[in-house]
């Protein structure tokens, strides 16, 4: 392990990850959070290309900082005989192997599931791709925006005039989450049967699963949900509403009881609850323009803080729109002690505690590695030091 810590749920599990960009690193960082030893295989010298995405975190990439704490980095040229020898020696000692190389690349390197599990049947082998093996998209390049398009996400996101992608790498994150949970599931089965597993995760299929609501809505309703910005295609009132001074309050009504309370206690217009235009959620959606006008007529004379106080008192869900500085300074995160510091090649950096809190376990929050930082130590551990391998 890279740091002294309370024994984690995955202590004693070794993960070798031939990873780059977002999806695989997100999966393996979460395994590291739980105490697994994660050995990240990188290109000698430059390392994972995500290290060069930007230089905003004191010279380091924001993506890399987010995804790669608590890992050991080994620099290997996998096109060389030495590099292949080392990675096979690593895998022979590993419980899990994760890779998200281009389609077919792992097989060409002798690191495909069939190849590795033939010599290591208990291995959990996880491969992440854009579209999955088989079918016309097998070799198609897959970047997050493009998968969002193929999964239909962009078609339902944005305003009626302009579609928009989601502002984070949601296809990569979805694939990383299913890889993480898939590995955990396979490890549970291995603990019971001793059997390894071959896992395949595609970004398209991971994101398609998350598209369940609009997919069913369109398939059985005849039309897709309209793009509604920060509002909701099938619930009203829901979304942003302007207040005095230009501030916006976001709110959501989930049922008829809340609608009646909203009309009485927030708008001071109890008769609206039974207005023939607004009597049911479907009618409110159909007459959303008129409904918005009724709400704004009240909100425009109130400060956002007063609207939120009214909504809180009435038990109506609400939020202010925060930017990234507002997230960092969020009083709820501070009150729950959700921030830590992790080491890095550029000094201590802030990091959020993983979102699942487990009693008796403090998540591993060890340093972010420099490229190839642990190469010599890992080679010595394998008895392969002094081979001239580049770090």
191: left (phi over 0), alpha (psi -120 to 50) or beta: alpha
Is residue 252 located within the same domain as residue 125? no
Is residue 199 located within the same domain as residue 261? no
Q: What is the mean pLDDT of residues 109-122?
A: 95
Quick check: is 226 in a domain? no
Count of structural domains within the chain: 2
Is residue 252 located within the same domain as residue 358? no
- Is the separation of the CB atoms in 284 and 295 below 8 Å? no
Report the C-alpha gap between 39 and 18 in whole angstroms: 9
* Structure confidence by residue, pLDDT tens digits, 43-88: 999 899 999 999 999 999 999 999 999 999 999 999 999 999 999 9
Quote the domain boundaries for residue 269: 238-321
Query: Which of 273, 300, 321 marks a domain boundary?
Result: 321
* Structure confidence by residue, pLDDT tens digits, 258-309: 999 999 999 999 999 999 999 999 999 999 999 999 999 999 999 999 999 9
Is residue 75 located within the same domain as residue 146? yes
| CATH code for position 172 | 3.40.50.10540
DSSP β-ladder status, 37-42 and 14-18: parallel
| CATH code for position 243 | 3.30.1540.10
DSSP string, 330-374: -HHHHHTT-EEEE--TTS-EEEEPPS--BTTBPPP-PPPPPTTTT
Is residue 316 located within the same domain as residue 370? no
Is residue 101 located within the same domain as residue 28? yes
pLDDT value of position 6: 54
Report the C-alpha gap between 293 and 291 in whole angstroms: 5
Element (H, E) at 328: helix 324-328
Is residue 316 located within the same domain as residue 342? no
Quick check: is 4 in a domain? no
Q: What is the mean pLDDT of residues 122-148?
A: 94
- Is the separation of the CB atoms in 196 and 117 below 8 Å? yes
Query: Which of 269, 293, 321 marks a domain boundary?
Result: 321
Quick check: is 167 in a domain? yes
Q: What is the pTM of this model?
A: 0.88
Quick check: is 354 in a domain? yes
- Is the separation of the CB atoms in 3 and 369 below 8 Å? no
| Distances 188 to 16, 72, 196, 206 between C-alpha atoms, Å | 18, 24, 10, 21
Is residue 155 located within the same domain as residue 252? no
Quick check: is 3 in a domain? no
Q: What is the mean pLDDT of residues 34-48?
A: 94
Average pLDDT, the chain: 92
Q: Which two tokens stand for residue 9?
A: 């749920």
Query: Which of 295, 321, 347 marks a domain boundary?
Result: 321
Quick check: is 8 in a domain? no
Is residue 246 located within the same domain as residue 118? no
Q: Which two tokens stand for residue 131?
A: 């579209």
Quick check: is 387 in a domain? no
- Is the separation of the CB atoms in 21 and 49 below 8 Å? yes
């Amino acid at each position: 392990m890279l740091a002294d810590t309370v024994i984690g749920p995955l202590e004693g599990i070794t993960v070798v990850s031939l990873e780059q960009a977002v999806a695989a690193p997100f999966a393996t960082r979460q395994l590291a959070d739980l105490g697994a030893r994660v050995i990240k295989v990188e290109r000698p010298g430059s390392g994972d290309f995500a290290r060069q995405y930007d230089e905003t975190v004191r010279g380091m990439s924001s993506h890399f900082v987010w995804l790669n704490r608590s890992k050991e980095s080994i620099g290997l040229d996998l096109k060389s005989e030495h590099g292949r020898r080392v990675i096979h020696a690593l895998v022979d000692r590993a419980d899990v192997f994760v890779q998200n190389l281009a389609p077919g690349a792992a097989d060409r390197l002798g690191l495909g599931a069939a190849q590795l599990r033939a010599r290591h049947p208990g291995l959990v082998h996880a491969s992440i791709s854009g579209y999955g093996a088989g079918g016309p998209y097998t070799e198609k390049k897959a970047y997050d925006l493009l998968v969002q398009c193929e999964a239909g996400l962009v078609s339902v996101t944005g305003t009626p005039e302009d579609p928009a992608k989601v502002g984070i790498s949601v296809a990569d994150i979805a694939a990383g989450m299913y890889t993480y949970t898939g590995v955990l599931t396979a490890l549970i089965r291995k603990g019971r049967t001793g059997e390894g597993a071959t896992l395949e995760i595609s970004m398209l299929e991971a994101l398609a699963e998350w598209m369940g609501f609009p997919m069913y809505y369109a398939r059985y309703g005849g039309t897709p949900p309209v793009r509604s910005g920060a509002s909701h295609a099938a619930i009203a009132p829901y979304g942003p509403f302007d207040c005095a001074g230009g501030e916006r309050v976001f709110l959501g009504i989930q049922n008829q009881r809340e609608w009646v309370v909203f009309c009485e206690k927030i708008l001071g217009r109890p008769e609206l609850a039974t207005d023939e235009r607004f009597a049911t959620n479907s009618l409110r959606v159909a007459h959303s323009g008129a409904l918005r006008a009724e709400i704004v007529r009240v909100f425009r004379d109130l400060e956002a803080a007063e609207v939120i106080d009214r909504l809180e008192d009435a038990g109506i869900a609400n939020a202010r729109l925060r930017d990234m500085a507002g997230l960092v300074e969020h009083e709820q995160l501070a009150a729950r002690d959700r921030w830590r510091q992790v080491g890095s090649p550029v000094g201590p950096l802030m990091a959020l505690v993983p979102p699942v809190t487990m009693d008796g376990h403090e998540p591993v929050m060890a340093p972010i590695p420099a490229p190839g930082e642990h190469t010599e130590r890992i080679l010595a551990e394998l008895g392969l030091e002094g081979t001239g391998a580049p770090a």
